[in-house]
A and B are shown apart, each in its own frame.
Chain A
């Protein structure tokens, strides 16, 4: 999980949790059901696109809005492998890590990546290689304890911490 390989699907600034998963679907706790409606408010063709473009590249403030964990869950179960954005809304950022969906703050990512570009992301080093453009971008790596939570998921992480 430390290295991720895929193609970019691009979005702009301020992608909010209401367009990632509209309020009317929040009565479901089934991630697969949520995934069917991922990004419905912004891009109805998302669930198709994500089949071969599974790294989201976005602008500023990705995931702003509500605290709904259903938002990163919907993205994860729709097939998203990683999200690279200039920065993230803090609750979304924490939620994503907690459910093991890699998110990296990546300054300059929007300018340096086009849709469909092939990317290789190294999470612990904070390196994004754009294989299509033969460029390497240094981004903010996650601190070790977050990498650990990301790796195990918060559920397992808490379980282990309590029993060890």
Chain B
């Protein structure tokens, strides 16, 4: 079996499983946020739910509109708080306590070998730590809250191998954008997506999180990387299970790429698979530059951006936003004096939350405006006006472009 099959076999009490087989797996953790939890609470009540199956395994996060930006969102938050109170949910990250749900999960909850469902599509992120994790909807989340179980089809899997050393201006975000450009928005539909090769082994854990985060942008069911020493050190944990592919494990397809040949990449409006090299679109004028989100709002991302913005200024007429992905990231960035660099450069620092990433609040775009963003989706209307353009790129490309006022390749 491959690592995905191993995790799902164990969780469903089977010795072996095969692609296509439907299993019912025990869920280790179930996460929902302020966009998906309220609907789940309503469904839970309609299921005559009295108690969640395990009050330590249900994790709730307010991140999409944090703090509330309207009476309506305040109402959604209140509904969540009441549910937390009523159910004595142990892990609830209210405004000021957590940050973007996936970052909170990575910091506090994910363990290698876990089966985790999240009512959010980017739940695929945790595969970078060796967990099987995938997104589900609200009513399904309610059924997990009740039963602690969920059905899965064992996915066929594809193996994406990167070898070679990335050049200086190329980052994990460029690798995943390149991959999505190659495979297309439906290139991995229903499939498990494993990353391997020496580029991945040499990559830091935070970069791996960026890869697995965006697997869903090519339709993937989950992303996964075999956990190694780096992961166990990052989590401060000891390895327990055997989380490596068996010698004879099978992959539906294998793609092999040379990371040393890649250039900085950008996903152009308005699909994530509309990927070009930055050099092809260099010079496109921007109105906003955003560094943040569950894709690239971590400490390593802020360090890269700060290094570029140090003693420089954001171009007049451009708004630059930095949104740390969590309170912990925010604090660490403060300790490293990164925030001073951003402030001196003319960057607006927002509180940890999803912000404009999905068009909720804090930095939306007007008709005709252009944003370059380190986030993960550039769909029509994703960040405000349906007539605004969003380009997705690495934090380095975003920071460099903020200085020049147009899409610019990092040095």
Contact = CB atoms under 8 A, between A and B. Distances in A.
Interface of A: 13-14, 16, 18-19, 22-24, 26-29, 41-42, 60-61, 64-70, 87, 89-91, 94-95, 98-99, 143, 145, 154-155, 158-159, 162
Interface centre among A19, A27, A98, A159 (most CB of B within 10 A): A27
Contact of A16 (B73, B123, B151, B379): B379
A14 B218 CA distance: 10
Interface centre among B70, B75, B118, B139 (most CB of A within 10 A): B139
Contacts of A67: 36, 118-121, 123, 135-137
Contact of B72 (A27, A61, A162): A27
A87 B386 contact: no
Interface of B: 22, 35-36, 38-39, 42-43, 46-48, 64-65, 70, 72-73, 75-76, 118-121, 123, 135-140, 142-143, 146-147, 151, 185-186, 189-190, 219, 221, 271, 358-360, 377, 379-382, 386
B146 A158 contact: yes
Contacts of A145: 22, 151
Contacts of B36: 67-69
Contacts of A65: 121, 377, 379
Contacts of A26: 35, 64, 360
Contacts of B72: 27-28
B359 A23 contact: yes
Contact of A27 (B22, B73, B138): B73
B359 A24 contact: yes
Contact of A95 (B38, B70, B120, B140): B140
A69 B381 contact: no
Given A27-B72, A28-B72, A65-B121, A87 B186 contact: yes
A29 B38 contact: yes
B379 A159 contact: no
A61 B359 contact: no
A39 B274 CA distance: 22
Nearest to A154: B139
A23 B135 contact: no
Contacts of A16: 379
Nearest to A163: B48
B121 A69 contact: no
A26 B37 CA distance: 12
9 contacts: A14-B271, A22-B359, A23-B359, A27-B73, A27-B75, A65-B121, A67-B121, A158-B147, A162-B47
Contacts of B380: 18-19, 41-42
A90 B186 CA distance: 11
Nearest to B386: A41
Interface centre among A13, A22, A28 (most CB of B within 10 A): A22
